[in-house]
Structure 1
Amino acid sequence: MGARILKRIIYILPIIGVICFTGLVIYGYSKGIFHSVESLQNFIKQFGEYAVFIFIFLQILQVIVPILPGGISTVVGMLMFGNIQGLLYSYVGLIIGEIIVYWLARYYGKSFARLILTKKRYLKFEKMLDRPEKGIKRLMMLTLLVPFAPDDLACLVAGLAELPFKEYMKILLIFKFWSVATYGYAILFLFNRFLIH
């Protein structure tokens, strides 16, 4: 019964995240927070040194339980801390999150995947598991290189398919930054184009 309730909470969190994000954007825009990058950064500075740690923690959580659609949280970091620093903080948080996912998948197996994935995504996930080790490596590289591809699924598969942790980390550290930067700059362009004047 507890697992069923937890699963429902995990499914509802992304919806709540989108609603909260939309509400924050509307509120921020009406208060002038999003009128310029400087006004947004001044707003964030109110949280002091804790803002960085809160953001990194949210990025770690984002990997395990996606609260916002992919890329949005990275853009928030870029707007808060500047493009380069925001990307680096995002990258660090996501890497830590992907390491946790790998070990959770390794330890709990398919039951962990069933808990965090919808039925549709779980079916995709099971198909990915049938690949040999070389195929898992290629899958990880491909999903990390192609914008908006399901790289979180590939990382989950790597944990369950028993891809050696050393190999997993090599691929993740090299290709994840490209993925984060591509998402971030694409969504930042749209954000700048339509919200910030």
Structure 2
Amino acid sequence: MEGTILKRIIYLLPILGVLCFTGLIIYGYSKGIFHSVHSLQAFIDQFGEYAIVIFIILQILQVIVPILPGGISTVVGMLMFGSLHGLFYSYIGLIIGEMIVYWLARYYGKSFVRLILSKKRYLKFEQMVDRPKNGIKKLMIVTLLIPFAPDDLVCLVAGLTELPFKEYMKILLIFKFWSVATYGYVLLFLFNRFLIS
């Protein structure tokens, strides 16, 4: 019973995340926060160094339970802290999150995976688990190289395969930055083009 309630909460979090994000955008426009990148950064500066810590923690949680659609949180960080700093903070948070996901999957197994994935995504997950070690390494590299590919799902799969943590981290550290930077800059361009005047 408790597992079912928790699962429903986890499924509702992305919807709530999108609603909150939409609400923040509307609020930001009404208060003039989103009128320019400078006004957004001036608003964030009020929170001092805590803003960076909070953002990194949110990125860590974003990997475990996706609250916003992929890439949106990264572009928010790039707007808040500047494109390079925001990208770096996002990368740190996402790497830590992927490390946690690997160990949660390894320790709790498929019961953890069933808790956080929908039935449709779980079926994709099951198909990936049976791959040999070299197969999962190649799949990780490919999904990290292709922007907007389901790399978080593949990292979850890696925790249940024979892929050693050291090899997992090597692939993640090398290729994750490319993935984060690519979709971050694409979404930042679209955000600047259509939302910020």
Q: Give the TM-score normalised by structure 2.
A: 0.99
- The total of aligned residue pairs comes to 197
The CA distance in 1 between the partners of 2:126 and 2:186, in whole Å, is 30
Q: Tell me which stretches of 4 or more aligned residues in structure 1 moved more than 6 Å.
A: none
Q: How does 1:67-82 map to 2 (within 5 A)?
A: 67-82=67-82
Shift of 1:183: 1.2
Q: In the alignment, what sits opposite 1:182?
A: 182
The CA distance in 1 between the partners of 2:193 and 2:34, in whole Å, is 12
The CA distance in 1 between the partners of 2:117 and 2:62, in whole Å, is 14
The CA distance in 2 between the partners of 1:183 and 1:23, in whole Å, is 23
Shift of 1:152: 0.5
* Cα deviation 1:90-120 (Å, max 9, x = unaligned): 0000000000000000000000110000000
| TM-align CA RMSD | 0.6
Q: In the alignment, what sits opposite 2:135?
A: 135
- Provide structure 1 residue ranges, at least 5 long, that are not aligned to the other structure: none
The CA distance in 2 between the partners of 1:117 and 1:70, in whole Å, is 15
In the alignment, residue 109 of structure 2 is paired with which amino acid?
G
The CA distance in 2 between the partners of 1:79 and 1:136, in whole Å, is 34
The CA distance in 2 between the partners of 1:72 and 1:79, in whole Å, is 11
Contact 1:106 1:162 in 2 (8 A): no
Q: Give aligned-pair identity as a percent.
A: 83
Q: In the alignment, what sits opposite 2:170?
A: 170
Contact 1:125 1:157 in 2 (8 A): yes
In the alignment, residue 123 of structure 1 is paired with which amino acid?
L
The CA distance in 2 between the partners of 1:6 and 1:196, in whole Å, is 37
- Provide structure 2 residue ranges, at least 5 long, that are not aligned to the other structure: none
The CA distance in 2 between the partners of 1:46 and 1:14, in whole Å, is 27
In the alignment, residue 40 of structure 2 is paired with which amino acid?
L
In the alignment, residue 172 of structure 1 is paired with which amino acid?
L
Shift of 1:162: 2.7
